[in-house]
Amino acid sequence: MHDVKVNGHVHYADDDDDDEEAVELAATRGQLIDALTEQLEDVLEEEDDLPPDRPPPPPPTTTASPPPTPPGDALHDAVTKIRRLLPPVAQLVEVGEKGSGIRARGEVQDFHKIQAQCLSEGVLWEDPNFPAVDSSIFYTRGPPKPFEWRRPGEITGDPQFMVDGASRFDIQQGELGDCWLLAAVANLTLHDDLFFQVVPDDQGFEGNYCGVFHFRFWQYGRWLDVVIDDRLPTVYGELVFLHSATKNEFWSALLEKAYAKLHGSYEALKGGTTCEGMEDFTGGVTEMYELKEAPSNLYKVLLKAYERSSLMACSIEPDPYVTEARTDSGLVKGHAYSITRVQYVDVQTPRRSGKIPLIRLRNPWGNEAEWNGPWSDQSPEWRLIPDHSREEIGLTFDDDGEFWMSYEDFLKHFTQLEMCNLSPDSMEDDNIKKWEANTFEGEWVRGVTAGGCRNYLDTFWHNPQYRITLTDVDEDDDENRCTVIVALMQKNRRAQRKKGMECLTIGFAVYNLGHDPDSLPKPLDYNFFKYNASCARSPSFINLREVSCRFKLPPGSYCIVPSTFEPNDQGEFLLRVYSEKRNNMEEHDEEVGIGHLDPRVKDEDEDTELAKKDEKVKALFLKLAGEDGEVDWMELKEIMDYTMRNELPSRPRPPTHQQIAPAEDDTLVGQLVNLLCGVICKDTPFGAAFASGGEGHAADTRSSGFAKEVCRSMVAMMDADHSGKLGYEEFKILWTDIRHWRKVFKLYSKEGQGFLSAFELRQALNSAGYRLNNHILNILFHRYGAADGTITFDDFMMCAIRMKTMIDLFRERDPDNTNTVSFSLEEWMEKTLYS
């Protein structure tokens, strides 16, 4: 079975379980392609204006007509102009990905400090980070109307933060296409404890009013306090966007502004799923159901969700030609509705009685746009309900956007259901059943841990891996299985829309680890995924902020592998797993430490050879080192550049005369002899023989070779007395390490290219004797990797040196293997600065 992406979404197609390429049926970056096409059409039109960085054409001559521009030149000019006008794709991928959550621009804003300062100065606060300008509303175009920013006191004579508390009827949609957010806000008002966590009640227009308000939102595992001023966009004195049905109530409009500030502008809120809003208000995990394929037990799931205070919303597939088109039944397509109650209701007829499953919904418009079918307002079906049942469910028949309908009609008319399961931390009532939750933060790094989906078998195993062990089955479960909800969320995408960042296409797969999971490698390797199929997976690879799915699995150990669809798509993610019963979950990865040197790297007789020729080697070293008997980093560089010349990038040149190349000698003595002969025979016909490693190799080691920082780090690694130089004994140990690292590099690099793929970094460092996990690998690549996902020989050596230095430093201070050490500030600076 292979993952196949269709129009930015991915569905599964049955196929043989071999390693053929994925079938990509549509481009994922539609906006980029549209922009490229538009620019290309503009360039290929014969316009008079030229790009500013191109010189004007020469004046026409009378002797001959200029030749026509070859097609290749026109295409080259088009590409040149496109590259200048559009940002590089690499920048589109990387923008905004470092760190977690939203970084403050300048000093962190503290609500209470700002309030106290404004009260002492007697001024109304103006937010410098989200100013009252058009760019805070739109970022792709100018305002379609003359917006004027006004404070509530300038809109009405008696502004109130809340009037008679907060309710779902305070949510009236404005001219912004964020009904998905409004449906989530309406759900939030049904739960006081959740509502006041987002909307603190320590603010208002009386007493300590000074134009500053604050709201709290969950962002990627953390709660952020967003501070705003109360200047709101208006047109002709009326609020343009979200507002309350009560003209002098402003909590909902201010909440929308704070959420817009969190994401950079009001326009950034256009288009989304109610799941996103519900998660940001609760920190919960959402699920999405296609109601045409609803599971048979969905109403039972809805009942349990309502009992656990889950937030729920639904929608109808939009009409591609009409925005928010109304149906004959009174429902609106492409519009988000809140589910405000789920309940069986007693029905009595002259012939029979029983229970019917009903659902109460609300349109955020809060008007007469309601369902007009069975069980709608004033429908005859309500005559079958006893008066006490009507009173129990709070039945009203107002044009307030709220209505009831049967579960059968719900499935028939709606196409999608979104549900937010609250995290245990957000539920204070101990009598309510809570989920068992695990949360892990991770990162896909280009060339290291961004392995793509299972279609790309060679790199898939490089993705982050997480092991979960399920032991206890669900209560009242006839199949003896465990309910698990897996949710994979990518970070920081909506806030970076203005910079060209769109959501990656993401998904995950779950693998059964069998009866002996401890015997499997950490992480699971290429062979495991080649011969084992997934037992569960996300319903699709899709370009949404989050993809989630509910599973029923037998007790056992499983590995969850989150990934992007394509390899090398870089981004940060949050993986959350909910289960009904307690589970054990951890990263399925190696522990950082020292391993074993790869047998392919270590020569069996190298120690014996060095022991036999110790005096001769020492004499040669001292002759090269000079009178002090030690080498500094410059002398070490001279030795290294010569002896490692075949492994360094070089500029080939033809020989100037017949070369007398010495035979390849990889021993320490042979290489030192070659170097010494090159120095002695310098400026003679024989010098060239020792200055070149053979035909096609560069001889100028002064302009190439090891970087000075690498050589300095080599010295610092072995320099126990901090003299800045190495004696022979230190050099001998260093030389052994360098020979091993050189062989490791040759083992994993492509022949003659002078670099290795970052996907090979873990295996290369394992062969060098170091065990690393994904967190360390990602850091190493950020520090030493190139933008194209490769690592040069120089950088690999630097990476190995740093690894050895830091591990040796730690082990020296931890003789009892406690895995903890302590340093004073002076010691820490001394050890880390000179390394």
Just list the catalytic residues. 179, 335, 363
Please answer whether residues 245 and 172 qualify as being in contact, where contact means their C-beta atoms are separated by less than 8 angstroms.
Answer: yes
The per-residue DSSP string of 49-96 comes to ---TTSPPPPPP-SS-PPPPPPHHHHHHHHHHHHHHHS--HHHHHHTT
Please answer whether residues 485 and 578 qualify as being in contact, where contact means their C-beta atoms are separated by less than 8 angstroms.
Answer: yes
Q: What is the DSSP letter of 515?
A: S
3-state class of 246 per DSSP? coil
Give the burial string for 243-277 (b: 16+ CB within 10 Å, else e): bbbbeebbbbbbbbbbbbbbbbbbbbbeebbbbbb
C-alpha angle with apex 335: 252 to 261, nearest 5 degrees?
35
What are the distances in angstroms from CA 277 to CA 225, 283, 365?
A: 16, 10, 17
- Residue with tokens 């949710």, as numbered in its chain: 487
C-alpha angle with apex 187: 181 to 193, nearest 5 degrees?
115
The per-residue DSSP string of 791-817 comes to EEHHHHHHHHHHHHHHHHHHHHH-TT-
What are the distances in angstroms from CA 331 to CA 173, 334, 402?
A: 16, 10, 12
What is the spatial distance between Cα 410 and Cα 339, in angstroms, rounded to a whole number? Answer: 11
What is the amino acid identity at position 438? N
Q: What is the DSSP letter of 556?
A: E
Q: How far, in whole angstroms, is CA 675 from its chain's centroid?
A: 50
What is the spatial distance between Cα 559 and Cα 467, in angstroms, rounded to a whole number? Answer: 4
What are the distances in angstroms from CA 723 to CA 33, 760, 798, 806, 826?
A: 58, 36, 21, 19, 18
* Helix intervals (H) in 427-509: 457-460
- The sign one gets for the Cα dihedral 99, 102, 103, 109 is negative
Which residues are CB-neighbours of 733 under 8 A, at least 6 positions away?
A: 718
Report the chain's C-alpha Rg in angstroms. 34
- The sign one gets for the Cα dihedral 112, 113, 115, 120 is positive
- E-only strand ranges, 267-372: 285-290, 311-315, 336-348, 353-362
What are the distances in angstroms from CA 50 to CA 59, 66, 71, 512, 713?
A: 15, 18, 18, 61, 50
Which residues are CB-neighbours of 194 under 8 A, at least 6 positions away?
A: 188, 281, 282, 309, 422, 426
3-state class of 243 per DSSP? strand
Task: Identify how many contiguous H helices and E strands the chain contains and give both numbers.
Answer: 25, 26
Which residues are CB-neighbours of 737 under 8 A, at least 6 positions away?
A: 800, 804
Which residues are CB-neighbours of 434 under 8 A, at least 6 positions away?
A: 308, 424, 427
Report residue 353 as tokens. 């009685």
Closest by CA to 338, choosing from 169, 483, 456, 478, is 169
Please answer whether residues 300 and 146 qualify as being in contact, where contact means their C-beta atoms are separated by less than 8 angstroms.
Answer: no
- Residue with tokens 């008319």, as numbered in its chain: 413
